[in-house]
């Protein structure tokens, strides 16, 4: 069914027909499937070993499995340009990688999580991450190619809700299974969820590659040379760095207010899930109603509306559980106006000729920014105190919103020129796009 530009894509349109519903189920399932085992391992493995006496100065070892995720743009072009057209260019990669990843998780059941087995567990996780990172590259490309431009707002909101739902299930459900039934059972369940949620993407017939893919060879060097990249990747780093200042140290802030780790977890898990649903849904509606630039501008004020209650809470002698939950919920929901808007924009900014290379590089750049935020935030909080830390952080994030607002039209224009050029629709002499002929009777219109 063709979409009409005058009728924005709404949440109800996700189930307007079978093809649309299956397309989003496939994309969402692939995204969520990865998260169940990764979120459980990432959050609880350091805690498990800490309970056994692992020194904090040895925690660097838990960063080793993340190394493949940092360098994955190096082999992303290979994933982009290699694969079987009969099976599906993306499915060629994420089918075997999903299987190997699940087997790697299952292999951990043979090794109890104790200090004697730490080295072998980390080695298995490094191997697992290499497979799952390669799968992630293919899924990034699959996602960009299967979410149309008019669907970006709803698609970004759905993906945000799905990812946080998967994290909630991992942190609450799989963690409960671990405490009740042990390490092996938890890993079996997590691996099963990986396979089950990936299945819709495996059985769905993969659509043909975009026309841009036929005109350009995926290349990391070409990505770095493009004019649009000079804006997109610095923006990714800036938004991630500044945007992570609030959430990265917020749990530590609650501990300093007198809450235990158990209480922080009891507040954060449901508040994150509920706040994400509210914030992502509201942002999706706002984007459809008012557009990207107005939503981004609104986000700058929403950030401060999230920060003020956080600062106020610190002035209370004994903040109650209900107050902290409400403030946390607010701090999750309102920043969604920036998070979801930027993710929706990036779905278009990734080149259709090398979607996996582009989008996975964006994610790596954002991961670098958010990782740096922890170090920068710690120094700021130590020297400024919590009051000024949150006030200044909120101000910096608001400034980032204004920068994004100011550059948005420039980036969109460069992306449209790039897409036309890659599709062979750009007049090299005039720098303008040329109109394509109407579809012939033997050729369907896109």
Give the pLDDT of residue 426: 53
Give the pLDDT of residue 228: 96
Give the pLDDT of residue 124: 95
pLDDT tens column, 361-398? 999 999 999 988 888 888 898 899 999 999 999 999 99
Q: For residue 368, count CB atoms less than 10 angstroms from its CB and return exposed for 0-12, middle for 13-18, buried for 19 or more.
A: middle
205 and 350 housed in the same domain:
no
CA dihedral defined by 10, 11, 17, 22, rounded to 10 degrees? 130
58 and 167 housed in the same domain:
yes
Q: Where does 169-314 have alpha helices with state H?
A: 175-181, 183-203, 220-225, 229-243, 245-256, 261-290, 292-313
Question: Could you tell me the pLDDT band of residue 425, with boundaries at 50, 70 and 90?
Answer: low
Q: For residue 56, count CB atoms less than 10 angstroms from its CB and return exposed for 0-12, middle for 13-18, buried for 19 or more.
A: exposed
202 has pLDDT over 60: yes
357 and 231 housed in the same domain:
yes
283 has pLDDT over 80: yes
Give the pLDDT of residue 378: 86
184 inside domain = yes
Give the pLDDT of residue 432: 52
266 and 191 housed in the same domain:
no
Mean per-residue pLDDT for 253-277?
88
Closest CA to 293 of 353, 335, 354, 344: 344
Give the pLDDT of residue 125: 95
Give the pLDDT of residue 49: 87
- Domain range for residue 220? 215-428
- Residue 426 forms beta bridges with which residues? 433
| Residue 219 near residue 65, CB atoms below 8 Å | no
What is the C-alpha to C-alpha distance for residues 313 and 126, in angstroms, rounded to an integer?
A: 41
Give the pLDDT of residue 434: 46
Domain end point (choices 209, 237, 253):
209
429 has pLDDT over 70: no
438 inside domain = no
pLDDT tens column, 391-419? 999 999 999 999 999 999 999 999 999 98
107 inside domain = yes
Let me know the angle formed at the C-alpha of 402 by 397 and 407, rounded to the nearest 5 degrees: 125
308 and 220 housed in the same domain:
yes
103 and 235 housed in the same domain:
no
434 inside domain = no
Closest CA to 75 of 351, 408, 361: 361
- Residue 84 forms beta bridges with which residues? 88
169 and 231 housed in the same domain:
no
Q: What are the distances in angstroms from CA 337 to CA 10, 146, 261, 277, 422? A: 17, 23, 29, 12, 31
What is the C-alpha to C-alpha distance for residues 347 and 148, in angstroms, rounded to an integer?
A: 9
2 inside domain = no
CATH of the domain at 413: 1.20.1250.20
Domain end point (choices 177, 209, 241):
209
pLDDT tens column, 309-352? 999 999 998 899 999 999 999 999 999 999 999 999 999 999 98
269 and 283 housed in the same domain:
yes
Domain end point (choices 175, 193, 209):
209
| Residue 84 near residue 92, CB atoms below 8 Å | yes
List Cβ neighbours of 140 (8 Å cut-off, separation of 6 or more): 350, 355, 356, 359, 360, 363
337 and 408 housed in the same domain:
yes
Mean per-residue pLDDT for 246-257?
88
Give the pLDDT of residue 421: 87
275 has pLDDT over 60: yes
Closest CA to 334 of 234, 392, 401, 288: 401
What is the C-alpha to C-alpha distance for residues 416 and 414, in angstroms, rounded to an integer?
A: 5
Question: Could you tell me the pLDDT band of residue 441, with boundaries at 50, 70 and 90?
Answer: very low
pLDDT tens column, 1-57? 444 445 788 888 888 889 899 999 999 999 999 999 999 998 888 888 888 888 877
Give the pLDDT of residue 411: 97
Give the pLDDT of residue 4: 44
239 inside domain = yes
8 inside domain = no
Q: Where does 108-228 have alpha helices with state H?
A: 118-146, 152-168, 175-181, 183-203, 220-225
CA dihedral defined by 192, 193, 194, 199, rounded to 10 degrees? 90
> What angle, rounded to 10 degrees, do the helices at 292-313 and 336-349 form?
150
pLDDT tens column, 84-133? 888 999 999 989 999 999 999 999 999 999 999 999 999 999 999 999 99
259 and 320 housed in the same domain:
yes
173 has pLDDT over 80: yes
441 inside domain = no
What is the C-alpha to C-alpha distance for residues 100 and 127, in angstroms, rounded to an integer?
A: 9
pLDDT tens column, 218-241? 889 999 999 999 999 999 999 999
219 and 204 housed in the same domain:
no
251 and 286 housed in the same domain:
yes
List Cβ neighbours of 96 (8 Å cut-off, separation of 6 or more): none
What is the C-alpha to C-alpha distance for residues 236 and 337, in angstroms, rounded to an integer?
A: 16
Buried b (16+ CB within 10 A) or exposed e, 385-410: ebeebbbebbebbbebbebbbeebee
| Residue 244 near residue 374, CB atoms below 8 Å | yes
Overall pTM > 0.95? no
Domain count, the chain: 2
pLDDT tens column, 175-186? 899 989 999 999
Question: Could you tell me the pLDDT band of residue 440, with boundaries at 50, 70 and 90?
Answer: very low
Mean per-residue pLDDT for 144-167?
92
| Residue 132 near residue 101, CB atoms below 8 Å | yes
Q: How many helices (H) and strands (E) does the chain have?
A: 16, 0
């Amino acid at each position: 069914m063709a979409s009409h530009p005058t009728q924005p894509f709404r949440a109800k349109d996700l189930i307007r027909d079978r093809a649309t519903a299956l397309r989003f189920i496939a994309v969402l399932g692939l995204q969520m499937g990865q998260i169940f085992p990764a979120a459980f391992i990432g959050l609880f493995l350091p805690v498990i070993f800490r309970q056994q006496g692992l020194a904090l100065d040895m925690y660097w070892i838990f960063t080793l499995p993340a190394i493949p995720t940092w360098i994955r743009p190096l082999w992303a072009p290979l994933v982009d340009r290699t694969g079987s057209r009969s099976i599906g260019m993306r499915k060629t990669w994420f089918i075997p990688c999903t299987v190997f990843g699940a087997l790697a998780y299952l292999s951990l059941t043979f090794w109890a999580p104790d200090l004697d087995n730490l080295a072998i567990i980390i080695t298995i996780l490094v191997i697992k991450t290499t497979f799952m990172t390669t799968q992630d590259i293919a899924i990034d490309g699959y996602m960009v190619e299967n979410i149309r431009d008019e669907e970006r707002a709803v698609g970004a909101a759905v993906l945000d809700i799905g990812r946080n739902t998967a994290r909630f299930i991992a942190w609450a459900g799989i963690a409960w299974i671990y405490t009740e039934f042990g390490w092996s059972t938890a890993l079996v369940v997590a691996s099963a969820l990986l396979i089950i949620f990936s299945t819709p993407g495996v059985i769905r017939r993969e659509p043909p590659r975009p026309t841009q893919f036929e005109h350009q060879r995926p290349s990391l060097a070409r990505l770095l040379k493009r004019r649009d990249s000079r804006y997109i990747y610095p923006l990714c780093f800036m938004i991630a760095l500044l945007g992570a200042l609030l959430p990265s140290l917020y749990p530590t802030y609650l501990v300093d207010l007198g809450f235990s780790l158990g209480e922080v977890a009891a507040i954060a898990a449901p508040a994150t899930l509920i706040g994400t649903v509210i914030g992502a849904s509201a942002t999706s509606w706002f984007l459809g109603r008012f557009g990207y630039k107005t939503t981004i501008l609104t986000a700058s004020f929403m950030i401060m509306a999230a920060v003020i209650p956080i600062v106020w809470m610190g002035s209370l002698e004994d903040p109650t559980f209900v107050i902290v939950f409400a403030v946390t919920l607010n701090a999750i929901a309102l920043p969604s106006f920036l998070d979801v808007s930027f993710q929706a924009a990036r779905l278009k900014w990734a080149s259709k000729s090398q979607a996996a290379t582009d989008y996975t590089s964006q994610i790596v750049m954002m991961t670098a920014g958010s990782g740096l935020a922890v170090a920068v935030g710690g120094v700021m909080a130590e020297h400024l105190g919590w009051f000024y830390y949150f006030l200044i952080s909120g101000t910096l994030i608001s400034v980032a919103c204004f920068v994004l607002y100011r550059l948005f039209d420039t980036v969109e224009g460069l992306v449209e020129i790039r897409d036309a050029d890659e599709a062979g629709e750009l007049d090299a002499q005039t720098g303008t796009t040329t109109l394509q002929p109407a579809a012939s009777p033997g050729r369907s219109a896109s």
